[in-house]
């Protein structure tokens, strides 16, 4: 019964996040628009050389998705911090780590999942075939939740700090590098005729580790920020 109650609290928090997102559609659409614009500029700037575009595609699409996912991280806890909701969450009987996990999952569904769904359309501009597009989607589906979880740590550490956006980028970009390497590397490995299973396994391992450890680290950072 207690687990069912905790699940209901998490679902209620996620519904609240979606309700807030519906009232602030511009903030939700900004990462997606950024992703589309940045990824579309590269084929225009490089030219119609198909071989070059194919080599660039995994890295360009992954870097664009990574930067797009970062755009909304600063607001992950900021609104709750300003209106006092965050303090209530910290004082509630529900473990703060579960609430943090719900917030990170909401961030992925609102910011990360649209990037995953848009990636195949943008991949066509680079000449990627159906197999490469499928692998790209799988890597993004495994990687973007990890970005949200890791990003929640940086968002908590920079909460209420002046110039938080720049500091947040400096904190989490080094932690994003393994996700970027294995995500783009899977598509590149398949294009080179090598196995991509190892890259997917490492991405899955990073996701599992993030699910376990990121909420704990974020909870600690939030309690420090609230003191």
What pLDDT, on the 0 to 100 scale, is given for residue 203? 94
Distances (CA, A) of 182 to 15, 32, 70, 178, 216: 32, 22, 18, 6, 24
What pLDDT, on the 0 to 100 scale, is given for residue 1? 43
Given a contact cutoff of 8 angstroms between Cβ atoms, the answer to whether 190 and 196 are in contact is yes
Report, as ranges of residue numbers, the positions in the chain whose pLDDT lies below 70. 1-5, 163-164
What pLDDT, on the 0 to 100 scale, is given for residue 163? 66
Give one word for 160, left, alpha or beta, with left for phi > 0 and alpha for psi -120 to 50.
left
Q: Comparing C-alpha atoms, which of 72, 79, 74, 134 is closest to residue 108?
A: 72
Given a contact cutoff of 8 angstroms between Cβ atoms, the answer to whether 65 and 119 are in contact is yes
Which pTM does this prediction carry? 0.89
């Amino acid at each position: 019964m207690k687990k069912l109650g905790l699940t209901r609290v998490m679902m209620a928090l996620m519904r609240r996040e979606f309700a807030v997102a519906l009232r602030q559609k511009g903030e939700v659409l900004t990462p997606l628009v950024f992703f589309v614009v940045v990824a579309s500029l590269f084929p225009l700037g490089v030219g119609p050389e198909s071989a070059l575009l194919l080599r660039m595609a995994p890295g360009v699409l992954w870097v664009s998705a990574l930067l797009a996912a970062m755009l909304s991280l600063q607001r992950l806890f900021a609104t709750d911090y300003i209106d006092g909701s965050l303090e209530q969450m910290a004082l509630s009987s529900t473990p703060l780590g579960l609430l943090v996990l719900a917030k990170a999952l909401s961030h992925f569904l609102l910011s990360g999942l649209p990037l995953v769904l848009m990636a195949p359309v943008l991949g066509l501009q680079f000449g990627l075939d159906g197999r490469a597009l499928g692998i790209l989607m799988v890597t993004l589906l495994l990687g973007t939740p990890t970005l949200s979880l890791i990003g929640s740590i940086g968002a908590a550490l920079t909460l209420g700090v002046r110039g938080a956006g720049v500091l947040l980028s400096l904190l989490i970009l080094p932690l994003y590098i393994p996700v970027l390497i294995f995500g783009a590397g899977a598509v590149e490995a398949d294009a080179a005729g090598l196995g991509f299973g190892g890259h997917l396994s490492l991405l899955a391992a990073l996701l599992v580790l993030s699910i376990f450890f990121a909420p704990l680290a974020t909870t600690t950072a939030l309690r420090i920020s609230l003191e």
